[in-house]
Amino acid sequence: MEAYKKWVRRNKDYVHSLESLANGLTWLLPERFSASEIGPEAVTAILGIITAMNEHIIDTTPTQMHVGPVEPNPFPYSLCISAIKDLETVVEVAAQHYFGDDKKWNFIAVTEATKVLVRLILFRNSGYKMLLHGGDTPNIEKHSDFSSSQHNDGGFPRPGSGHGPNGLNPWNLEGRALSALSRFGENARMSSDMVWLRRVQHQQAIMEPPSSKRPTISMILSEKGVQGALFLMGEVLFIIRPLMYVLFIRKYGIRSWIPWSLSLAVDAVGIGFLTQVAKSRDGGKEQHYHLTASEQDELKRRKLLWALYLMRDPFFTKYTGQRLESTEKLLEPVPVIGFLTAKIVELVVGAQTRYTYMSGS
C-alpha cells in the first residue's frame, strides 16, 4: 500500500488524466451491459471510490518540514463518507432487483444510518465544525473564536473529486443529468494555483501543534450561549434529515406528502438556525458564533439545494413532471430542439427516480 501511495503522489497529473479517461469511457459502455443497472452502478461506485482514495492520498502527502514525534494519521472520515455515497446507489439498485421496491428502503435506511453515524462522529471529532459538502471536504479552517491562530485554508473544496454535486456519481448517465441540474449548488472546480495553495495550507495545519483544546458542546454553549446552541441544532438537523426522510418514505411510501413535507420542514428549521447564527456576527454582541468563509459558502449551497425538492415525489409527479411533459410536446415538432428536449426530459425523469432523495446529504 505504501508503494501505491508513493506512486500516486509522484504521478498526480497522470492519475488525474486516468480518472478523466475512465469518466469518458463510461459513456461507451455497451447496451448489453446496461440491461441491468447493477453493473453500471457498480462500475461507477468503484471508480468513485478509487478517485476519492487517490485524492485522499494526495491531500495527505507528508511534508519534510515536520519536526517532532510523528502522530498516527486520524481516521479518514471524509473518505469513508465518500465511499458510502458511492455505494449507496449500488445498494439501492441491488436491493430493488433482489427484494423489490418496498423492501429496498430497509437497506437504504441502513446505509443512511451508517452515514449519519459517521458524520456525527466527524462532527464531534472536528470540534463541532460545520460539515462541508456533507463531510466530503475536510473543514480545517480555524475559528478565531476558539483559536489564537488566524491561518486558514480558505475552505476550498477537495480538487479533482470524483463526486458530482451533493454526492452524486458523475459517471452515471442519469447522475450526470441531475448533476448538471444541481451544479449551481456546488463551487466551481479550483484552478491549479488555488489547489496548490490549499494543499500547502493543509500541510501547515497538520504541522502546527494544536494551540488550544478542542471545543466541546459545554464549551460552545457556555461561551456562545444561544447562538452556539442554534448552530449545534442546525448542524445536527442537517445530518439526520436524510435518514428521517428515508424512514418516513419507508413508512408512508414515496408518493405520500408526509415525507416530503417533513424533510422540507427539517431543512427549513435547520437552515433557519444557521442563518440566524450567520447574521449574529453583525450585531456586535459578545456571544456570537463566527462562521468562516467556507462555512458561509456551505450555508449558501444548502439553501440553493432546496430547489431539488421540485424533483422529489410527490411534487415531481404532480407538478414538475407534468410541466416537463407539456414542454416536450410543445417543442417536439421543432427539428433538433425537439429531439434534444426529449432526451433531456428522459434523463431528468430517470435521474429523479434514483438520485434526488439522497441529494443534499
Q: What is the pTM of this model?
A: 0.73
- Contact present, 162 and 48 (Cβ < 8 Å): yes
Output the DSSP codes for 281-324: TTTT-SS--PPPHHHHHHHHHHHHGGGGGGGSTTHIIIIIHHHH
Cα gap 334→138, rounded to integer Å: 48
**What pLDDT, on a 0 to 100 scale, did the predictor assign at position 358?**
61
CB 208: neighbour CB atoms within 10 A? 11
**What pLDDT, on a 0 to 100 scale, did the predictor assign at position 151?**
41
Could you report the per-residue pLDDT of 279-326, keeping only the tens digit for each? 875 545 445 678 889 999 999 999 999 998 999 999 999 999 999 999
100: left (phi over 0), alpha (psi -120 to 50) or beta: left
User: How far is residue 221 from each of residues 226, 230, 240, 314, 333, measured CA to CA in Å?
Assistant: 7, 10, 21, 39, 62
- Of residues 252 and 155, the one with the higher pLDDT is 252
Provide, rounded to the nearest whole percent, the portion of the chain with pLDDT above 90.
Answer: 33
User: How far is residue 228 from each of residues 152, 277, 284, 347, measured CA to CA in Å?
Assistant: 21, 8, 16, 43
CA dihedral 239, 195, 193, 166 (to 10 degrees): -40
**What pLDDT, on a 0 to 100 scale, did the predictor assign at position 273?**
95
Q: What nine digits make up the cell of 303?
A: 439553501
Residue 256 has pLDDT above 90, yes or no: yes
CB 61: neighbour CB atoms within 10 A? 16
Provide, rounded to the nearest whole percent, the portion of the chain with pLDDT above 70.
Answer: 69
Mean pLDDT of 28-53: 69
Cα gap 245→262, rounded to integer Å: 7
Q: What is the DSSP letter of 36?
A: S
Which amino acid makes up residue 177?
A: A
* Coil/strand/helix, residue 70: coil
Upstream peptide bond of 138 is cis (omega within 30 degrees of 0): no
| CB-based burial label for 2 (10 Å; 0-12, 13-18, 19+) | exposed
CB 212: neighbour CB atoms within 10 A? 11
Cα gap 219→200, rounded to integer Å: 30
User: How far is residue 325 from each of residues 256, 257, 343, 355, measured CA to CA in Å?
Assistant: 22, 22, 12, 20
> What's the pLDDT band for 236 if we cut at 50, 70, 90?
very high
Q: Kindly report the CA angle at 58 between 56 and 59, in degrees rounded to 5?
A: 65
Which amino acid makes up residue 206?
A: I
Cα gap 206→140, rounded to integer Å: 9
- Of residues 192 and 256, the one with the higher pLDDT is 256
Cα gap 267→242, rounded to integer Å: 10
**What pLDDT, on a 0 to 100 scale, did the predictor assign at position 162?**
43
- Of residues 144 and 24, the one with the higher pLDDT is 24
CA nearest to 130, candidates 304, 294, 305, 361: 294
Q: What is the DSSP letter of 132?
A: B
Cα gap 209→225, rounded to integer Å: 28
Could you report the per-residue pLDDT of 161-191, keeping only the tens digit for each? 444 444 444 444 445 444 544 444 444 344 3
Residue 73 has pLDDT above 80, yes or no: no
> What's the pLDDT band for 112 if we cut at 50, 70, 90?
very high
Residue 31 has pLDDT above 90, yes or no: no
**What pLDDT, on a 0 to 100 scale, did the predictor assign at position 212?**
54
> What's the pLDDT band for 327 if we cut at 50, 70, 90?
very high
Please, which residues bridge with residue 132 across strands? Answer: 137
Cα gap 176→182, rounded to integer Å: 10
Identify the residue whose cell numbers are 514525534: 69
